[in-house]
Amino acid sequence: MKIYLLSVLAFVLFISCKTDPNKQVDEGQVVENTYHSKEIGWTIEIPEGWNVTQREESQALEDEGLKAVNEANGIDYDISSLKQLIGFQKDKFHMFGASSEKFEIEYEGEYEENKKLVKQVLYNTYVSNGIKVDTVSSKARIDNLDFDLFKITVYDPKGNILLYQDLYSTLRNGLEFGVNLNYINDKEKNELMRVWKNSKFE
């Protein structure tokens, strides 16, 4: 079975930048405070005071995260076809990331099987690294598009909540489109949810 992980590396914390934001994305364009993906047919606002994620730093941390995923699950997943769309963050605990990857359905029910597998891979990766998490699955609708939502609560060694992660995924124009929100404070969470829920799909 093919494994499409998309935002499986959401637990990696990225570094922000103030360089040209269009050099940090694989597809789409940033104009002032708005990002648009032609492939997905999606537009989202970049909130004021949040910085676009720097490609070089995120790539290094992504590689480190991928190694942890592969070692924890005994797999050798290739993310070479993964496209980084837009990522932005306020600080290391409050971030937004979106990505896409080609997904060709080969048999009925494959996508549903894949979603379950991805959730198990994420859970195994945390547990194998001694990190306690709670998870819950549900559905969500953003603009006119339905998403699978996988919510993760990450705890520190003393049992205090370290981070909340909301991972959204759906099929769109022959691609698996994934969005992850990391947050801990209500103010930043509300800002992330505002721009995400107000984003538009053509």
Whole-model pTM?
A: 0.83
Q: Beta strands of 122-173 (E only): which ranges?
A: 133-142, 145-155, 161-172
Tell me 175's DSSP state. Answer: E
Instruction: Give the Å distances, CA to CA, from 166 to 7, 22, 109, 139, 154.
Output: 10, 25, 24, 11, 11
Per-position pLDDT tens, the chain of length 202 = 344 444 444 444 333 334 555 555 665 788 889 999 999 999 999 999 998 876 665 566 566 666 666 676 677 766 666 788 888 989 888 989 888 888 888 889 888 888 888 888 888 888 887 888 999 999 999 999 999 999 999 888 899 998 999 999 999 998 999 998 999 999 999 999 999 999 999 9
Pairing of strands 29-31, 34-37: antiparallel
What does the angle CA 141 – CA 169 – CA 94 come to, to the nearest 5 degrees?
90
